[in-house]
């Protein structure tokens, strides 16, 4: 019996030696940190990730590099992050598709957003601007809705990579006001917006950063924003909820930093604290505002997880109402 107990103790010690040990925040990082961005270089998401990546490198004392993995519905970037060890050295710049609505939109996903990813920092809201070609005889949202209803042929609208938030923003409006309009999907956001400015497309819910210059130059007419609050960069444009007397209307995207599940809690908490310090700085908030986005004072990791749960429920309600739940 003593010999058996001795062997059991030795086996237990051996297993303990090979089992993962808690990682203290002060021991992190031990090597280069990679931020995986699901959009191409030069996009708003990429630019902001590079801004805070520089600040993270300074505060953490290790290089921070950007790895752009665009396309494939953000799946390529997500799989890259999930294939790395859960040690905080590979982080994912996430959007609603990654953590929220894909689990409603798709019948089956190659990953489980709730089990496979941990949200670390929620640092901005990305609303969209309802823009029309200036040749359309409308100046307000009520005029636009009336014109769309009375027009003999349906208006058409563009969206990048159909199935994203700009597409959903129009579909919710279409459903709410019983509009007959035609969707024209594009491969990328800049071209989808330029074709509204050139008159090939009638309207779109456009990314603010990609449309602000065209609005200022008079090549696009802005009617409303999809968030319930006004854009700091364009405060004269009303929220759609207010302009259309539709108080429950809000269809927005957001950016979050996320990690693979299993990343030690001390590392998650340290990254959350670093991002809160970096992203709440006045100069960073101003940079984000200037890009047509809404900066946030990042909440705790626990609050961010609660936000995600509520966001999933909201997308389930939205996509079910417009008939897109389980459509992919």
Reported as a single tens digit per residue, the pLDDT across 179-190 is 999 999 987 778
Q: In this predicted model, which residue has the larger pLDDT, 162 or 265?
A: 265
pLDDT digits over 194-249, tens only?
999 999 999 999 988 788 889 999 999 999 999 999 998 889 999 999 999 999 99
Q: How far apart are CA 267 and CA 29, in angstroms?
A: 9
What pLDDT does residue 2 have?
41
Ranges assigned E (strand) in 95-212:
117-126, 128-132, 155-160, 181-186, 203-207
Cβ neighbours around 158 below 10 Å, total: 26
Q: In this predicted model, which residue has the larger pLDDT, 144 or 190?
A: 144
Task: Judge contact between 117 and 98, C-beta under 8 A.
Answer: yes
> Are 23-125+253-321 and 128-243 the same fold in CATH?
yes
Calculate the average pLDDT of the chain: 89
- The residue extents of the domains of the chain are 23-125+253-321, 128-243
Rounded average pLDDT over 39-64: 93
CATH topology classification for 128-243 = D-Maltodextrin-Binding Protein; domain 2 (3.40.190)
Rounded average pLDDT over 262-280: 96
Percent of the chain's residues with pLDDT above 90: 77
23-125+253-321: in CATH 3.40.190.150: yes
Distances (CA, A) of 235 to 105, 111, 126, 132, 231: 33, 39, 15, 18, 5
Q: How far apart are CA 99 and CA 302, in angstroms?
A: 15
């Amino acid at each position: 019996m003593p010999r058996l107990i001795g062997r059991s103790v030795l086996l237990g010690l051996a297993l303990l030696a090979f089992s993962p040990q808690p990682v203290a925040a002060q021991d992190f990082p031990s090597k280069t940190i990679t931020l995986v961005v699901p959009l191409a270089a030069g996009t708003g998401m990429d630019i902001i990730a590079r801004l805070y990546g520089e600040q993270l490198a300074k505060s953490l004392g290790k290089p921070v590099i950007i790895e752009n993995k665009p396309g494939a519905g953000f799946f390529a970037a997500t799989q890259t992050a999930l294939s790395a060890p859960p040690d905080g050295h590979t982080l994912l710049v996430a959007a609603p598709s990654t953590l929220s609505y894909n689990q409603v939109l798709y019948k089956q996903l190659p990953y489980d957003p709730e089990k496979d990813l941990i949200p670390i920092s929620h640092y901005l809201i990305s609303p969209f601007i309802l823009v029309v070609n200036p040749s359309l005889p409308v100046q307000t949202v009520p005029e636009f809705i009336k014109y769309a209803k009375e027009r003999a042929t349906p208006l058409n609208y563009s969206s990048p990579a159909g199935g994203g938030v700009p597409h959903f923003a129009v579909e919710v409006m279409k459903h709410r006001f019983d509009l007959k309009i035609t969707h024209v999907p594009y491969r990328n956001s800049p071209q989808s917006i330029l074709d509204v400015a050139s008159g090939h497309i009638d309207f779109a819910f456009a990314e603010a950063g990609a449309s602000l210059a065209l609005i200022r130059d008079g090549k696009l007419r802005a009617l409303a924003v999809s968030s319930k609050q006004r854009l700091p960069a364009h405060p004269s444009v009303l929220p759609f909820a207010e302009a259309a007397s539709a108080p429950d209307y809000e269809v927005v995207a957001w950016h979050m930093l996320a990690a693979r599940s299993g990343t030690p809690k001390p590392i998650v908490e340290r990254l959350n604290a670093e991002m809160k310090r970096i992203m709440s700085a006045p100069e960073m908030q101003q940079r984000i505002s200037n890009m047509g986005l809404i900066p946030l004072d990042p909440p705790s990791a626990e609050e961010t997880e609660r936000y995600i749960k509520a966001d999933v429920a909201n997308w389930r309600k939205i996509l079910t109402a417009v008939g897109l739940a389980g459509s992919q």
